[in-house]
Amino acid sequence: MPVLKVENLTKSFGRTHVLKGVSFDLCEGEVLSVIGSSGSGKTTLLRCINQLETANSGRIIVGGRMVFDSSSEKKLTKKEKRENQLQIGLVFQSFNLFPQYTALDNVTLALKSLAKNRTDFRKNRKQIHSEIEDKAKSILMRVGLSDKFYSYPCELSGGQQQRVSIARAMALEPKILFFDEPTSALDPELTGEILKVIRQLASDSMTMVIVTHEMAFAEAVSTKVIFMDDGVIESCGTPNEVFRENPSDRLKEFLRKYE
């Protein structure tokens, strides 16, 4: 049973048709890299799946829950939509950390807000908060930021900020983690530290979807590659199939730009 199932997804902005029928599955523990030239619809695909944009038609099933279904009349409540959204963590290209909070508070903010719904929150508030903080600290340690708990985003390098934002997404224990070009806002010498964290997550069998322009990395880390071209999936398969065995002409042309 796949953890993510996308069927025939379409999306247009006004007259621009950005997604023209996209379908794919993703199983637990898989790492999917999405590649393709600028404007091919990669970001739009991610944003439609986690409901930052509403697709025009198709179906999206995440963790067995129908997240989007254009054929059904039933409207999701705000609460259901939020619960659906929490199944997917998103790491933005531009980090989008909350500047007024420390690294630690960035990671704990959502957890603390969620904890307010617990029935025992009033009684055990202190204990719940300290558990959340311990958890956040251990995640920050996993991404190599054990000495930056109390730093503000403006005091961190781009690579460190992006690692905080990965920690922030991981804290909610999403079923899938999305990365939209996690390294393209970084200086080249900082991309390595982010790729290392993603590699480590992959070896912990975190399910991930990564939009990236790092071809070598995509080939090395993923179990599956999708090449998007002009709103459709042009090729799809294991890295070996897509890059080596029978790359299509479009893909060859695209890859030439990275040589």
Ligand X SMILES: Nc1ncnc2c1ncn2[C@@H]1O[C@H](COP(=O)(O)OP(=O)(O)OP(=O)(O)O)[C@@H](O)[C@H]1O
CB closer to other proteins, 65 vs 244: 65
Nearer to other proteins, 120 or 173 (CB): 173
Residue closest to 129 by CA, chosen among 111, 142, 147: 111
Compute the radius of gyration of the chain from its Cα atoms: 19
Q: Nearest CA to 217 among 225, 228, 205, 206?
A: 225
Token pair for 15: 């007259």
* Helix (H/G/I), strand (E/B), else coil: 128: helix
Strands (DSSP E) contained in 71-189 are 88-91, 176-180
Which among other proteins, Mg ion, ligand X, none contacts residue 159 (Cβ within 5 to 8 A by kind)?
A: none
CB of 136 to other proteins, least distance (A): 13
- State the residue for tokens 């997404």: 169
Q: Rule CB under 8 A: which residues touch other proteins? A: 50, 52, 78, 82-83, 85-86, 88-90, 92, 94, 96-100, 109-110, 113-114, 152-154, 168-169, 172
Q: Is residue 44 a contact point for ligand X (CB under 6 A)?
A: yes
- Measured CA to CA, the distance from residue 38 to residue 25 in angstroms comes to 23
Token output for 215: 């071809």
For Mg ion, which residue of 40, 43, 165, 191 counts as binding (CB under 5 A)? 43
Report residue 200 as tokens: 């480590």
Cβ-in-10-Å burial (0-12, 13-18, 19+) of 165 comes to: buried
Residue 40 contacts ligand X per CB under 6 A:
yes
Distance of closest approach, residue 219 Cβ to ligand X, in angstroms: 18
**Helix %, strand %, coil % of the chain (to 5):** 40, 25, 35
* Unique residue bearing structure tokens 């290392």: 196
Given other proteins, ligand X, Mg ion, none, residue 153, with its beta carbon under 5 to 8 Å by kind, binds: other proteins
For residue 39, state whether it binds ligand X (rule: CB under 6 A). Answer: yes
| From other proteins, Mg ion, ligand X, none, interface partner of 40 (C-beta below 5 to 8 A by class) | ligand X
Binding partner selected for residue 66 from Mg ion, other proteins, ligand X, none, CB under the kind-specific 5 to 8 Å limit: none
Which listed range, 24-32, 37-45, 116-124, 242-250, lies at the site for Mg ion (CB under 5 A)?
A: 37-45
The residue among 139 and 226 lying less far from ligand X, judged by its C-beta, is 226
Q: Taking CB within 5 to 8 Å according to partner kind, which of other proteins, Mg ion, ligand X, none is near residue 44?
A: ligand X
In the complex, which residues of this chain contact ligand X (CB under 6 A)? 13, 16, 18, 36, 38-44
